[in-house]
Amino acid sequence: MRFSLGKFTLPVYAVLAFIYLLIPIVYTFVFSFNNSLKTNLIWRGFTLDKWTNVCQREGVCEALSNSVMIGLISTVVATALGTMIAIALVRYRFKFRSSINLLLFLPMATPEVVLGAGLASQFFNLGVQKGIWTIIIAHIMFCLSFVVVTVKARVASLDPALEEAGRDLYANPRQVFWRITFPLLLPGIASAALLSFALSFDDFIITNFNAGSDMTFPRYVYTAAARGVPAEANVVGCAVFLLAILIVLSTQIRGEVKRRRLAKKH
């Protein structure tokens, strides 16, 4: 039996890449149980106190609540606006449609440092005090393009015959949208909303330019990193990671259950 190097190269590369990606996550998870004092750079023993008293460290829960609030508000606004823009771009023909399509990609292609600095200059010139609301405005602008691109792909894949069938059955435009179009768009809208929230919650560069004195979780971690990220921050990071895994697994299981039900019917 001939030995083929190429046969094993891809699996070995995939395993090594997977291990490389998991190292920071494993480190974060392990050190969330560290019995640390002022710094979290050296292992001092196992404890559950950091998980049970996560808000004991000053600033952690405040920064987390700010990030969650900013993420939720910017996600709702960006998803609503992005969905309307996506439907308009796919379904309607109007002046400057091609130009708008092109301009929507600019925030995605522009480096965050340029976007953040530009917004900060604009707020300064307008005399706007930086704070939570300037962060929200910046995040809406940043996330809007990602929402439009995601929902636009879903709108383009819809079969117009389904909406025509609704109109043939004497449904008015509002009924057609809420009973046919919106349910079909919902998976794309949900995906766009999750992506938007993840981008907002995780963002540091744009936030740092437009935050003023308000603290978000990424800013807190960056500030604390000089003396070792506190174990409480590792706890929050692990909790967010586990929540994301839970959402993905529940979505996959739900989809598999639906597929099996449909297969049994047929």
Residue 247: burial class (beta carbons within 10 Å; 0-12, 13-18, 19+):
exposed
* 49: pLDDT strictly greater than 80: yes
Quickly list H helices, the chain.
5-31, 49-52, 60-91, 97-104, 106-109, 112-126, 132-156, 160-168, 173-176, 182-202, 205-210, 217-224, 231-265
State the pLDDT at residue 85: 92
Q: What percent of the chain has pLDDT over 70?
A: 96
When the pLDDT of each residue in the chain is averaged and rounded to a whole number, the result is 86
Greater confidence (207 vs 60) lies with 207
Locate 99 and state its tokens. 């130009």
- Asked if 62 and 175 touch (Cβ cutoff 8 Å), the reply is no
Closest CA to 221 of 63, 34, 32: 63
pLDDT band at 47 (very low <50, low <70, confident <90, very high): confident
Q: What number of residues does the chain have?
A: 266
Q: Where are the domains of the chain?
A: 61-218
State the pLDDT at residue 54: 83
CATH number of this structure's domain 61-218: 1.10.3720.10
Greater confidence (7 vs 65) lies with 65
Which segment of 9-13, 208-212, 228-232 scores lowest on mean pLDDT? Answer: 228-232
* 33: pLDDT strictly greater than 70: yes
pTM: 0.83
Q: Give the residues across from 46 on adjacent strands.
A: 34
Locate 92 and state its tokens. 């309607």
State the pLDDT at residue 144: 92
Report residue 177 CA to chain centroid gap: 27
pLDDT band at 3 (very low <50, low <70, confident <90, very high): low
Return the amino acid letter for 93. R
pLDDT band at 201 (very low <50, low <70, confident <90, very high): very high
